[in-house]
Structure 1
Amino acid sequence: MPVPTAAAHLSREQIDALGAELDALRQRTEASLGERDRNYLEQVVRAQRGLEFAGRALLFAGFLPPAWVGGTSALALSKILDNMEIGHNVMHGQYDFLQDPAFQGTTFEWDTSCPADQWRHSHNYRHHTFTNVIGEDRDLGYGVLRIDAGKPWKPKDLGNPIYAALLASFFQYGVMLHDLEVERIVKGKVKWSDTEDLRRAMARKLGSQTLKDYVLWPLLTGPSAPFTLAANATANLARNLWSFTIIFCGHFPDGVATFTREEAADESRGGWYLRQLLGSANIDGGPLLHLMSGNLSFQIEHHLFPDIPAHRYPELAVEVREICERYGLPYNTGGLVQQFGSVVSKIVRFALPWSTGATPPAPAPDPTKAWTELDLADRAEALTGRAAA
């Protein structure tokens, strides 16, 4: 396995030691899971349901501007919590240890147009296994955007900013179509007939979501039906724009690395961890930002530990950052405006044929903090033995 450029100063032994440290951190966290995590999830679910109830109740008087604004806002917050902090995290299996059928990762369904089973394949398996591997991770541009220099420029890429704006506005539908791999169908690599089962599942979920949001709920509010329909559309748009912003800030700011198939081939456990560290970015902020982002503001920790309850990421981040400092590895983090500005800049930059995608080099390891290969090898052996015990 070739060592990525940003980690060129690390030996194979050091990478293995890195993996052992992160494995030990995972195991310590898993051993502490329990009522604290159950209580957190139940609190979030109660908040999400309360917001949805309040929003629906206010929209019965949606013809009054204050009621419409309040109802729409509550509904948008409810949808964001359902998708980001509950649905996404539950479907990663973060709460499987509870053995509660309502929060079983393999059967949970969420309030969006993408069927949960398809999301589990395209996201949980494809993206988290092949994170940022060019030609394998379809989240790199979602089959629409040129977001990396590893993808050859084509004239259609001039529309990058337009495609990004449309994807942000209709994000739930882009996510729904993701597993269909439309670009492969257009290129003749996949037959339309081979996607029949996928399309049927999409049509069922899309039909139920459309019926619920744009027919049944509006009709239930009687004379306020047109206002309720507009409120539902606005809440969905707000959820789409927010989800797009958080996800893109965690994956595509400057400094996030991509990898060739050769770099990811035959990688060790430590090599996989290293790819997650270098291929993700965090967003600095307070508790409300972290809650409303589903704690995906800690995208680095999420890629390292996707099946650990996400509300644990802030405390895990303290140790992960310290580990990165010791190994001389970059820890990509910044405020929401900074990270999103970087993403927008990259989207515009890669629309142009002469874009190179150059990013700042990784910081050199601090010789006062970096450990010797012998120290790291000894630590890896000790940690492995402790985990086995």
Structure 2
Amino acid sequence: MALEVDPAPAGTVVRALPAEGPSRPEHAEDFTALASIVRSSGLLRRRYGYYWAKLIAVPVVTILSIGLFLVLGDSWWQLFTAVLFAFVFTQIAFLGHDAAHRQIFRSGRWNDWTSLVIGNLFVGMSYGWWQHKHTRHHANPNREGVDPDIDLPVVAFTPAQATVPRPPVFRWVIGHQGWFFFPILLLEGLSLHASSVRRVLSRAPVQRRPVEIAFLAVRILGFLALVFVVLSPGKAAVFLAVQLGLFGFYMGMSFAPNHKGMPLVPHDLKIDFLRRQVLMSRNIHGSRVLDFMMGGLNYQIEHHLFPSMPRPHLRRAAPTIREFCTTAGVLYTETTLIESYAIVTRYINRVGLGEKDPFACPLVELRATPGAIILTRPRA
């Protein structure tokens, strides 16, 4: 089994090489073997103490933050409170993400209600909308035409998206979109709220729609009322701009390094589960402080392979999964946080300029034969 590598200046080279024969059924068994190792290590067991501490902290920290807001009153010092709210709401959203992935309780119903209360009532983000979107992403990360996370209206993530006819000004923006991507994240918080409201008020299927509408109304309208009652209109507008902007920026900066700039998958290319999740994901290595700040999303490979694995176990599982992938000849990509942002910027700019990126998107034009093996090499 040969490894084909191009001398690309940066990024990851991916090639599909024909297997020795019409199929390689053992590839389907790779994940089964890995899952057995992980399960026997106890890494899938629940962490009730860890999560109950966080669940109790959610209302406590929220009440304390509101109390601080009331004490400061109509003051420009509230801009620091806006930063605090952005941080608190993002951390609460991470906990809702864990519940939605069944990491907290054995009962699916308990996890659903936990995520619904956390997402809708505390963060102002529809659980039903997020679940529909995020489930499709997990099933097919970076698959063209399927993964909603690479199908955004303001950024072109694939060469095909970059070639869509646009007015000259928009073409210039797309050509430099890598530099605009991170500032655009300042609008992500507003977009999350708007998408949530639009989903629950539309005809799209949403389980427990009345509850979602009620919780969103209490959270969004109640927070707006609190801000405008305590602050003068000018200060309130600035407060909301800072809070929503930083909330969206923090969320976006936590999710952006995970898949952007990793290989794209053509719609009709079939890849076994292990490679589909590992090759399209990137880990960010760092300290436990980074783990906390990113809500465990820096262990994206482990999370995609085992979505129900409790967040505290992701760091422990990483060495085992890295070793298994190395033995199986599957690239396990990890880098630093700063380098990941640089990779994302370079990649998005190159897509916007219309380049067929030789390291990040070779699968776009690839039509692999049955039983193809995906092999990779990390960036130089």
TM over 0.5: yes
Q: What does residue 150 of structure 2 align with?
A: 140
**What is aligned with 1:362?**
376
Report the counterpart of residue 196 of structure 1 in structure 2.
203
Deviation at 1:240, TM superposition (A): 0.7
Give deviations 1:171-199, integer Å, cap 9, x for gaps.
134345669999xxxxxxxxxxx953479
Q: Residue 280 and residue 175 in structure 1: after superposition, are their counterparts in 2 closer, same or farther (change >3 A)?
A: farther
- In 2 relative to 1, CA 83–116 (structure 1 residues): closer, same or farther, beyond 3 Å? same
Give 3-state SS (helix, strand or coil) of 1:326's partner: helix
Q: Could you say what secondary structure the match of 1:80 adopts?
A: helix
Could you say which residue in structure 2 is the equivalent of 1:312? Answer: 313
Percent of aligned pairs sharing the same letter = 19
Deviations 1:85-140 (A, max 9, x none): x111111221231678376467544144431112111112x111122211111211
CA contact (8 A) 1:59 1:228 kept: no
Give the whole-Å Cα distance in 1 for the aligned partners of 2:19 and 2:327.
Answer: 11
Distance 2:321 2:43 in 1: 18
Are 2:25 and 1:16 equivalent residues in the alignment?
no
Matched, 1:97 2:86: no
User: How far apart are residue 238 of structure 1 and its match?
Assistant: 1.4
1:342-375 CA deviation, whole Å, 9 max, x = no partner?
112222222113x1122178229xxxxxxxxxxx
Matched, 1:120 2:137: no
Residue number in structure 2 paired with 1:377: none
Q: Tell me if structure 2 keeps the 8 A contact 1:324–1:331.
A: yes
CA deviation after TM superposition for structure 1 residue 296, in Å: 0.4
Task: Check whether the contact 1:59–1:224 (CA below 8 A) recurs between aligned residues.
Answer: no
Moved more, 158-167 or 304-313: 158-167
**In 2: Cα distance, 1:14 partner to 1:292 partner:** 38
* Distance in 2 (alpha carbons) for counterparts of 1:27 and 1:108: 30
Q: Distance in 2 between matches of 1:236 and 1:180?
A: 16
Q: Which moved more, 1:205-214 or 1:129-138?
A: 205-214
Distance in 2, matches of 1:30 and 1:128, equals: 23
Counterpart position of 1:251: 259
Q: Which amino acid aligns with 1:121?
A: H
Partner of 1:40: 50
Aligned length: 335
For residues 215 and 302 of structure 1, do their structure 2 counterparts lie closer, same or farther at Cα, with a shift above 3 Å needed?
same
Measured at CA, do residues 73 and 177 of structure 1 come closer, stay the same or move farther in structure 2, by a change above 3 Å? closer
8 A contact 1:7–1:329 mirrored in 2? no
- In the alignment, what sits opposite 2:139? 129
**CA distance in 1: counterparts of 2:66 and 2:82, whole angstroms:** 9
TM-score of the aligned structures, taking structure 1 as reference length: 0.73
| SS of equivalent to 1:362 | strand
Provide the residue aligned with 1:87 in structure 2: 96
Is the 1:79–1:235 contact (alpha carbons within 8 Å) kept by the matching residues of 2? Answer: no
Contact map agreement 1:6 1:329 (CA 8 A) in 2: no
Q: Within 5 A, what are the aligned runs for 1:1-389?
A: 5-6=14-15, 8=17, 12-28=24-40, 33-34=45-46, 37-60=47-70, 61-63=72-74, 67-68=77-78, 70-84=80-94, 86-97=95-106, 101=110, 104=113, 107-110=116-119, 111-124=122-135, 126-149=136-159, 151=161, 153-156=163-166, 158=171, 159-160=173-174, 161=177, 164-165=181-182, 167-175=184-192, 195-197=202-204, 207-219=217-229, 221=230, 227=235, 230-253=238-261, 256-264=262-270, 271-353=272-354, 355-359=355-359, 362-363=376-377
CA contact (8 A) 1:328 1:363 kept: no
For residue 96 of structure 1, give the secondary structure of its aligned residue in structure 2. Answer: coil
Structure 2 residue identity aligned to 1:20? T
Distance 1:283 1:246 in 2: 10
TM-score with structure 2 length normalisation?
A: 0.75
**RMSD (CA atoms):** 3.6
For 2:108 and 2:268, how far apart are their aligned partners in 1? 39
- Unaligned runs of 5+ residues in structure 2 are 1-12, 361-374
Q: Select between 337-346 and 24-33 the one with higher mean Cα deviation.
A: 24-33
1:263 maps to amino acid: L
CA displacement at 1:21 relative to structure 2? 2.2
Kept after mapping to 1: 8 A contact 2:197/2:216:
no
Unaligned segments of structure 1, at least 5 residues: 183-193, 365-389
Name the one with the larger helix percent: 1
Corresponding position of 2:7: none
* Amino acid aligned to 1:118: W
SS of match in other structure, 2:377:
coil
**1:118 and 1:335 mapped to 2: Cα distance?**
31
Equivalent position of 1:185 in the other structure: none
**2:367 counterpart residue number:** none
Contact 1:277 1:304 in 2 (8 A): yes
Contact 1:283/1:335 (8 A) holds in 2: yes
The SS at the match of 1:308 is coil
